[in-house]
């Protein structure tokens, strides 16, 4: 029996998860298919219910369903509960469990591909949405010392700073005014973009949340945006002489963690990264 895996979202045509997950399954000789399903919000409950069938191993969940799936699961692990979002569902017997591998993927990429251990460091996080919440929790777990959250809607930054503070990180919140941003960036060892600014087809395509004059050359600049792979922020960071990390590694590492939960096998990360890079290039070539 060919096992069934996949990802749900709405829309889902943009996802490159099928490319790198199928490459991993094929590489490991696992008889399974990984499919992208566009599931409208009103069909999420029924879709999750159907995952109890024997051939289903589980799924990934992306925007806008990461919270919506929760009421249909039998249990949600501590990490996903804390994040308030599920990106991976695993079936064991008749039980469906929700997990969140985004924080793990973010940290592993930071440490392995970015070469930075956040323990004792200072970070500027841009954005206060779903991914920023996961990033703040992951950085707090990893022992970050100081955090500034900058967001267009300052109240959301304040709420996230309160969470950081609760988790033992000295945290503050600011808006996106140039003066405050410049001061916060100047003190940062790590700058993470968790906004959609710079994302293709997003609200601020082609823009960078910081200019090169605002970026210290000693910082690592990590952009969660992976489309385009070389974002306007990463270009500004290079101009400033800073080290850079794009979002593709995080995407692959969060998927690698899901793969390991579904299959019980070590994920072939190099194979996945190569397939993801190739899928991005092909997609951009077809634009």
Ligand X SMILES: NC(=O)c1ccc[n+]([C@@H]2O[C@H](COP(=O)([O-])OP(=O)(O)OC[C@H]3O[C@@H](n4cnc5c(N)ncnc54)[C@H](OP(=O)(O)O)[C@@H]3O)[C@@H](O)[C@H]2O)c1
**Nearest C-alpha neighbor of 182 from the set 144, 143, 219, 232:** 219
Site for ligand X in 99-128 (CB under 6 A): 102, 105, 127-128
* Cα–Cα distance, 165 to 157 (Å, whole number): 12
Q: For ligand X, which residue of 6, 130, 164, 228 counts as binding (CB under 6 A)?
A: 130
Residue indicated by tokens 């460091």: 121
CB of 243 to ligand X, least distance (A): 17
CB distance 7 to 61 below 8 Å:
yes
> Stretches 3-11, 164-172, 249-257, 275-283: which one binds ligand X (CB under 6 A)?
249-257
Return the number of the residue (232 or 247) whose C-beta is nearest ligand X.
247
Residue 52: CB minimum distance to ligand X, A: 28
Residue 70: Cβ within 10 Å count: 17
79 forms part of the interface with ligand X (CB under 6 A): no
Contact map string, positions 201 to 240, toward ligand X, x by CB under 6 A:
--xx-------------------xxx--------------
Q: Which two tokens stand for residue 118?
A: 């956040």
| Residue 166 falls in the annotated catalytic set | no
Residue 131 contacts ligand X per CB under 6 A: yes
Six-digit token string for 140: 């707090």
Residues 90 and 57 sit within 8 Å (Cβ to Cβ)? yes
Burial 117-146 (b: 16+ CB within 10 A, else e): ebeebbbbbbbbebbbbbbbbbbbbbebeb
Complex with ligand X: residue 154 or 271, whichever CB lies closer: 154
Rank residues 56 and 159 by Cβ distance to ligand X and give the closer one: 159
Helix, strand, coil percentages in the chain from 3-state DSSP, rounded to 5: 40, 20, 40
CA distance 250 to 162: 25
Q: Which stretch binds ligand X (CB under 6 A): 3-11, 43-51, 137-145, 247-255?
A: 247-255
Judged by DSSP in three states, 23 sits in helix
Least separation in angstroms between residue 194's CB and ligand X is 5
199 binds ligand X (CB under 6 A): yes
Q: Which residue is closest to ligand X by CB?
A: 129
Whose Cβ is closer to ligand X: residue 4's or residue 39's?
39
Residues 31-70 interacting with ligand X (rule: CB under 6 A): none
Query: Site map for ligand X, 179-198, x if CB under 6 A?
Result: ---------------xxxx-
> Whole-number minimum distance, CB 192 to ligand X, in Å?
10
Smallest gap from residue 12 Cβ to ligand X (A): 13
Q: Out of 32, 59, 251, 267, which residue is the one contacting ligand X (CB under 6 A)?
A: 251
* Helices (H), ranges, 109-240: 130-141, 154-166, 178-186, 232-239
Distance between CA atoms of residues 37 and 59, nearest Å? 10
Count residues contacting ligand X (CB under 6 A)?
A: 26
Half-sphere exposure at residue 77, Cβ-oriented, CA atoms within 13 angstroms = 13
Q: Which residues bind ligand X (CB under 6 A)?
A: 102, 105, 127-132, 151-153, 156, 194-197, 199, 203-204, 224-226, 247, 250-251, 254
State the catalytic residues.
66
């Amino acid at each position: 029996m060919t096992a069934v895996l996949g990802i749900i979202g709405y829309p889902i045509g943009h996802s490159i998860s099928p490319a790198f997950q199928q490459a991993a399954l094929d590489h490991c000789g696992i008889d399974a298919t990984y499919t992208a399903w566009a599931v409208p919000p009103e069909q999420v409950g029924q879709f999750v219910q159907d995952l109890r069938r024997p051939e289903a191993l589980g799924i990934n969940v992306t925007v806008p369903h990461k919270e919506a799936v929760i009421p249909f699961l039998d249990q949600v692990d501590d990490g996903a509960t804390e994040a308030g979002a599920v990106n991976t569902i695993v079936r064991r017997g008749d039980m469906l469990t929700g997990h969140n591998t985004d924080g793990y993927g973010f940290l592993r990429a930071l440490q392995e591909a970015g070469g930075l251990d956040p323990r004792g460091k200072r970070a500027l996080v841009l954005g206060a949405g779903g991914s920023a919440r996961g990033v703040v929790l992951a950085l707090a777990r990893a022992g970050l010392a100081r955090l500034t959250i900058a967001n267009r809607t300052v109240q959301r930054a304040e709420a996230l700073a309160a969470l950081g503070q609760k988790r033992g990180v000295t945290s503050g919140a600011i808006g996106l005014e140039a003066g405050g941003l410049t001061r916060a960036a100047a003190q940062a060892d790590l700058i993470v973009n968790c906004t959609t600014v710079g994302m293709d087809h997003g609200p601020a395509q082609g823009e960078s949340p910081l200019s090169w004059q605002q970026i210290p050359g000693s910082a690592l600049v990590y952009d969660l945006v992976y489309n385009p792979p070389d974002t306007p922020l990463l270009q500004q960071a290079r101009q400033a002489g800073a080290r850079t990390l794009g979002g593709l590694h995080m995407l692959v590492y969060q998927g690698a963690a899901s793969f390991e939960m579904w299959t019980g096998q070590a994920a072939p990360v190099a194979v996945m990264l190569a397939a993801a890079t190739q899928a991005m290039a092909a997609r951009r070539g077809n634009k």
